[in-house]
Chains A and B, each alone.
Chain A
Amino acid sequence: MSAAVVMEKVSKSYPVYGSPAERFKELLALGRRTYHRDFWALRDVSFEIERGSTFSILGENGAGKSTLLQLVAGILRPTLGRLEVSGRVSALLELGSGFNPEFSGRENVFLNGAILGLSNREIERRYPQIVDFAEIGDFINQPVRTYSSGMVVRLAFAVAINVDPEILLVDEALAVGDIYFRQRCMRKIHELHRAGVTILFVTHNIADVKSLATRAMWLADGRIVELGDPERVVSRFQAAMVNKDARYLRQHAQAEAPAAGEVFASRPAELVEKIPNIDFRYGTGRAQVLGIAVMNQRGEEIGLLPPGETIVIRVSVRAQQEMPQPIVGFMLRNHLGVDFSGTNTALEGLEMPPLRPGEALTVDFLLALPELYPGHFSFSPAIANGTLEGYEMCDWIDNAVTLQMEKRREMYGYFRLPCQVELRGVRVVSAECGVRSAEH
């Protein structure tokens, strides 16, 4: 196995000029004078992509992902470091960017194919496949400006994957298009992968990374944060994004209520500070819900509720005033808004420490999830002060998290009661007997 792409300490800087003329002066000065500041889009990036593997790049906007693809495509040159690419590269950097809206789909297929390096005869041979994959029918002879954006993307994708690339670069191209087409693209990419094509793709879609990538890389501010096993990279990336979101929310909350004494010296390590949704919120404000997370037992946030497994509902709260008897709980509602099931620390008999102003704590509810019908379920977290008999509701958030119940097998009704079925034996019963007895 040789490497299809090798990057060794590659850095890419964009010179930032006061005006385009300064850029030109510098070009003519042949390096004797500089007129710019440097903006480093990539710094010291080193990795190898094995021939035939699928490599995924994750990162926020502006992390340098597109720059990296442009380097591999040969559109940009590295400022420092060594970059080797061996093989015919087909780049899906922006689908349909080479299309001219005034020309027919057919003419654009030929032009685009020529840009990708095919001769007219080669395009002619692949043309039926391309049109077939794009599924745009008779529109192929209409000007591209009459196409829907989905059709443009389909056609562009169809051309790009039919040029027999050895290395395919995909830049979030699949984010557009309908679900059906996305699935076909993914299948096609799987197919290309099986055919030995080296694939390098950038995406925001975690599921794509998990299903496609053999290796993944997380870029932030032009540097590699994590490189290796996709599962690990994805989970670290997701965790970072969740934290960042919480930080943003917190900063926002501060901006709105600067008077509140927001600074605490120490915070429990596992404080969740993310509230994905707030339908309605009420309470006296004596304490507040900081966040809620629904996780599996490994502590990873989940997107689907696994029937028959134990999940963790983590709720973090913070006291604004003295809280002698805090109660933390949640309500589980179904898609009709019916209170399906709920519990709290008092009901479960958990002794809670009193909270002083500014103190925060986190409660984990380990919930053995029954097999419920595959609908949407929401969690509404709450913090109260008092006892089950009499309490003060401090903060209640309606439907903070909504998750879909995973469908694993067929189910009748709302949920599957734990059930054992036994076969008692086989006996022959005469049909006539039954009929006769019915007449009596």
Chain B
Amino acid sequence: MRFLWTVGSSFVSNLIRRRALLANLVVRDFKQRYVGSAAGWLWAAIHPAVLLLSYSFVFAAVFKVRPIPGSGTDSFVLYLFAGILPWLLFQETVQRSVSAVVDSSNLITKTVFPSEILPISLFISGLLNHFLGLAVLLAIVAVLVKKITVFILLVPVYMVLLALFTIGVGWLVSSLNVFLRDTAQALSVILTFWFWFTPIFFSAQNLPERVRFIARINPLAYVVDAYRNCLLAGRAPAPADLALTAAFALVSFLAGGLFFRYTKRAFGDVL
């Protein structure tokens, strides 16, 4: 425990010391994605919007899927929107993290570069899109549902937990990919499964009893559920669920961080 504390505090102080680098990386990443395109950051809004509309068309218009009762809304679009936002943040960060270390090989081998900062910068960069999505969702809720509750204040808490979890996974995959370039391929397969097995288009209650454990062992399921509860239903997540989510997040963050720290020493040799 003592060891974890030392590692953790030196890690945090290092982050604070390198905040200029972090800020620069985030700005660079954000610009890089939209540099040279006429619509610029608008694409950041268009992509999820198209995704949302397409899924809504298939599930709501074609298959006539409705949100389960007590969701706080009848609109499948809103139901999907609230659920898919945290998932997209997670997926985007992890997917971009996987190649982040390899792509920065010249920084790592030619400069004194704190590579652990990369997944963090990617998460923060993704967070900007996330805020945009949240703002649009809140605007719709405010206008159409006219019900915004105090539980919205819990969303930032989940955001922090999501950050810890996502960055932990980001560290794991980005470091693995240095040694095993198959990681990127494997990850996209895993993420596809993960996406469809997470209750985003459905609710965990829809799952047959036999397979309901899928939602219980899936940290993202708790976050998705919490986003919906806080934003749409106006309900606090069960305290046990919150504790469990926090546990998942901390374990991922610590395990990913220690793994990254341990494997990092070989980066210079491999890259």
Smallest CB separation, A10 vs chain B (Å): 15
* Stretch from B31-39, B43-51, B88-96, B250-258 forming part of the interface with A: B31-39
A97 near B35: Cβ-Cβ < 8 Å: no
Closest to A115 in B: B111
Residues of B within 8 A of A14 (CB): 269
Closest to A30 in B: B262
Residues of A within 8 A of B269 (CB): 14-15, 76
B25 near A27: Cβ-Cβ < 8 Å: no
The answer to whether B8 has its CB under 8 Å from any CB of chain A is no
* Stretch from B16-24, B64-72, B145-153, B229-237 forming part of the interface with A: B16-24
B32 near A115: Cβ-Cβ < 8 Å: no
Chain A proximity mask over B240-271: 1 for CB below 8 Å, otherwise 0: 00000000000000000000001101101110
* Stretch from A106-114, A238-246, A312-320 forming part of the interface with B: A106-114
Residues of B within 8 A of A119 (CB): 19-20
A242 to B21 CA separation, bound complex (whole angstroms): 47
Smallest CB separation, A135 vs chain B (Å): 23
A114 near B21: Cβ-Cβ < 8 Å: yes
A77 to B112 CA separation, bound complex (whole angstroms): 12
A113 to B19 CA separation, bound complex (whole angstroms): 12
Smallest CB separation, A55 vs chain B (Å): 19
Closest to A77 in B: B265
B21 near A91: Cβ-Cβ < 8 Å: no
Smallest CB separation, B217 vs chain A (Å): 24
- List A residues 1-28 near B (Cβ within 8 Å): 14-15, 20-21, 23-24, 27
Chain B proximity mask over A82-109: 1 for CB below 8 Å, otherwise 0: 0000000101011001101011000100
The answer to whether B54 has its CB under 8 Å from any CB of chain A is no
The answer to whether A116 has its CB under 8 Å from any CB of chain B is yes
The answer to whether B57 has its CB under 8 Å from any CB of chain A is no
With A14-B269, A103-B31 known as contacts, the answer to whether A120 contacts B112 (CB < 8 A) is: no
A27 near B111: Cβ-Cβ < 8 Å: no
Q: Which range holds the interface residue count of chain A?
A: 20 to 34
Residues of B within 8 A of A98 (CB): 106-107, 110-111
Residues of A within 8 A of B262 (CB): 27
A20 near B179: Cβ-Cβ < 8 Å: yes
A70 near B111: Cβ-Cβ < 8 Å: no
Smallest CB separation, B168 vs chain A (Å): 18
Chain B proximity mask over A262-298: 1 for CB below 8 Å, otherwise 0: 0000000000000000000000000000000000000
Find B24's partner among A27, A76, A93, A114 (CB 8 Å cutoff). A114
Closest to B107 in A: A98
The answer to whether B28 has its CB under 8 Å from any CB of chain A is yes
B28 near A111: Cβ-Cβ < 8 Å: yes
The answer to whether A73 has its CB under 8 Å from any CB of chain B is yes
With A27-B263, A75-B268, A103-B31 known as contacts, the answer to whether A114 contacts B109 (CB < 8 A) is: no
Closest to B19 in A: A119
A35 to B161 CA separation, bound complex (whole angstroms): 39
A20 near B180: Cβ-Cβ < 8 Å: yes
The answer to whether B127 has its CB under 8 Å from any CB of chain A is no
- List A residues 101-149 near B (Cβ within 8 Å): 102-103, 107, 110-111, 113-120, 123
A23 near B113: Cβ-Cβ < 8 Å: no
B31 near A111: Cβ-Cβ < 8 Å: no
A contact residues vs B (CB 8 Å cutoff): 14-15, 20-21, 23-24, 27, 70, 73-77, 89, 91, 93-94, 97-98, 100, 102-103, 107, 110-111, 113-120, 123
B contact residues vs A (CB 8 Å cutoff): 18-21, 23-25, 27-28, 31-32, 35-36, 106-113, 176, 179-181, 262-263, 265-266, 268-270
Beyond A73-B111, A75-B111, A120-B20: 13 further Cβ-contacts under 8 Å? A20-B179, A20-B180, A21-B179, A27-B179, A77-B265, A97-B111, A98-B107, A102-B35, A103-B28, A114-B23, A117-B21, A117-B112, A120-B24
A-B contact pairs, 20 of them (CB 8 A): A14-B269, A23-B270, A24-B180, A75-B110, A75-B111, A76-B269, A91-B110, A93-B111, A97-B107, A102-B32, A103-B28, A103-B31, A111-B21, A114-B21, A114-B23, A115-B112, A115-B113, A116-B111, A119-B20, A120-B20
